Amino acid sequence: MDHEALNKENNRTSIRSLLEILMVSTKLGFTSFGGPIAHLGYFHDEYVRRRKWMDEKSYADLVALCQFLPGPASSQVGIGIGVMRAGVLGGIVSFLGFTLPSVIALIVFALILQELNIGEAGWIHGLKIVAVAVVAHAILGMAQKLTPDLKRKAIALLALVVTLLWPTAYTQVGIIILSALIGYLLYKEHKANDAARINFPISRSFALICLALFFGLLILLPILRKVTSLNWIAMFDSFYRSGSLVFGGGHVVLPLLEREFVPNGWISKEAFLAGYGAAQAVPGPLFTFAAYLGAVMNGWLGGLLATVAIFLPAFLLILGTLPFWDTLRRNPKVNGALMGVNAAVVGILISAFYQPIWISSILSPIDFAFVAILFSMLVYWKLPPWIIVLTGAIGGSLMALL
């Protein structure tokens, strides 16, 4: 009887924990504007300073892991905190609370937009120029961190040249594998910094299943896409691969998504950029831009499918690496391989930045001058992204009158 009462009490405690996580993460999902760095500040204030769910060092180590992995860093930190608080279910609930507000807002926006006729208006061209400034800033910041020496710059250059000349899904996966091998050979003696240990309530066997799923889907989805020619598999593959190869936050996913969907005619440039502007205006992770794209292509179901596909790699990676993080970051060989992968991703993103973003947006000297102004506003004056978007839309409309 005592054992049964204890189980009931544990269940009540677990349900209370899950509801608490849902309430807190949903509040953050409605109020967290400003991109991934700002999100991490909101998380620190809520989870560490106010609620004391974890200490400063544990939070810093979790952030380090999520910055190290591909995917949306702030979302992965939220998932990790949920896992530490209430296991895998806690991670899922934390993710849903933080992500669903912007997902729903962007799907609704996409459905409304479908009723309107979007042409090549001046404000749309202005948003294209905004995209150039924002993505250039994101890639430059990433390159400074991930390619600080000549060897990694060479890996990035190799990835840039190969993916620019042969822009296919197989090329991206192949260059990642090759770069991991090069990084292993070049940096296998590289020593990682010592750090405090963190314990997570996930078994190593479950983590291995998650990692196997991550790599299995990354390899098998492009094959299934070719074999079946089903649209929903092609969509899932494109979003999943984009979510798997992005380091440095949501802005960097833009060139990968544009390359996947605009040249194929799945979505027009105008609709793509209109959605990107809307994604800047809502709180939560910028990866929810995928929900907008999916909804434009296939309604509500497409929006939900795209959301699952682009966030699934982040989920599998954070759950798959948490139990092994201490070991991995102290292993020079694994660390070396990942250094090579990080460098290659910089090259892949520069390639995607050139084609299609740059060549479809910068068409004249005035476009170049305008992107220089927007870039300066973002980088040097440090104005928030929504002001850059608004300036881009107004400037594009004015330039169309010239």
Q: Name the pLDDT band for 73 (thresholds 50, 70, 90).
A: confident
**What's the angle, vertex CA 248, arms to CA 209 and CA 32, rounded to 5?**
95
- C-alpha to C-alpha distance for 323 and 333, rounded to whole angstroms: 18
- For the segment 219-240, the average pLDDT, to the nearest whole number, is 91
**What's the angle, vertex CA 291, arms to CA 81 and CA 265, rounded to 5?**
140
pLDDT of residue 6: 46
- C-alpha to C-alpha distance for 252 and 297, rounded to whole angstroms: 22
**pLDDT digits 0-9 by tens, 273-321:** 888 878 877 778 889 999 999 999 998 999 999 999 999 999 999 999 8
Give residues with Cβ within 8 angstroms of 127, minimum separation 6. Answer: 273, 274, 276, 277, 389, 392, 393, 396
- C-alpha to C-alpha distance for 225 and 309, rounded to whole angstroms: 14
Given a cut of 80, is residue 393 above it in pLDDT?
Answer: yes
Count of alpha carbons within 13 angstroms of residue 187, beta-carbon side = 26
pLDDT of residue 24: 92
Contact 391, 129 (CB under 8 A): no
Given a cut of 80, is residue 72 above it in pLDDT?
Answer: yes
pLDDT of residue 213: 96
pLDDT of residue 150: 95
Given a cut of 70, is residue 108 above it in pLDDT?
Answer: yes
Contact 305, 231 (CB under 8 A): no
Q: Name the pLDDT band for 247 (thresholds 50, 70, 90).
A: low
pLDDT of residue 117: 59
**pLDDT digits 0-9 by tens, 324-378:** 876 766 677 877 887 888 888 788 878 878 876 788 789 899 999 999 999 999 8
- Retrieve residue 145's tokens: 């961190």
- How many beta carbons lie within 10 A of that of residue 270, not counting itself? 20
pLDDT of residue 56: 74
Dihedral angle sign, alpha carbons of residues 384, 390, 392, 395: negative
pLDDT of residue 335: 77
Q: State the SS3 of the chain.
A: CHHHHHHHHHHHHHHHHHHHHHHHHHHHHHHCCCCHHHHHHHHHHHHHHHCCCCCHHHHHHHHHHHHHCCCCHHHHHHHHHHHHHHHHHHHHHHHHHHHHHHHHHHHHHHHHHHCCCCCCCHHHHHHHHHHHHHHHHHHHHHHHHHCCCHHHHHHHHHHHHHHHHCCCHHHHHHHHHHHHHHHHHHHCCCCCCCCCCCCCCCCHHHHHHHHHHHHHHHHHHHHHHHHHCCHHHHHHHHHHHHHHCCCCCHHHHHHHHHHHHCCCCCCCHHHHHHHHHHHHHCCCCHHHHHHHHHHHHHHHHHHHHHHHHHHHHHHHHHHHHHHHHHHHHHCHHHHHHHHHHHHHHHHHHHHHHHHHHHHHHCCCHHHHHHHHHHHHHHHCCCCCHHHHHHHHHHHHHHHHHC
Q: Name the pLDDT band for 245 (thresholds 50, 70, 90).
A: confident
- C-alpha to C-alpha distance for 229 and 232, rounded to whole angstroms: 9
pLDDT of residue 209: 95
pLDDT of residue 371: 94
- Retrieve residue 116's tokens: 């309107």
> Of residues 38 and 83, which shows the higher confidence score?
83
Given a cut of 50, is residue 1 above it in pLDDT?
Answer: no
pLDDT of residue 114: 74
**pLDDT digits 0-9 by tens, 14-67:** 888 899 999 999 998 887 765 676 687 788 888 888 888 887 767 877 776 786
CA distances from 381 to 249, 347, 377, 378, 384 (A): 20, 27, 5, 6, 9
- Retrieve residue 27's tokens: 């509040």
Average pLDDT taken over every residue of the chain: 83
Q: Is the preceding omega at residue 255 within 30 degrees of 0, hence cis?
A: no
Q: Name the pLDDT band for 149 (thresholds 50, 70, 90).
A: very high
Q: Name the pLDDT band for 87 (thresholds 50, 70, 90).
A: confident
- For the segment 212-239, the average pLDDT, to the nearest whole number, is 92
**What's the angle, vertex CA 15, arms to CA 9 and CA 21, rounded to 5?**
135
- C-alpha to C-alpha distance for 86 and 13, rounded to whole angstroms: 10
Given a cut of 50, is residue 126 above it in pLDDT?
Answer: yes
Give residues with Cβ within 8 angstroms of 182, minimum separation 6. Answer: 155, 340
Q: Name the pLDDT band for 134 (thresholds 50, 70, 90).
A: confident
Helices 122-146 and 269-281: crossing angle in degrees, nearest 10, is 70
CA distances from 109 to 95, 168, 383 (A): 21, 31, 25
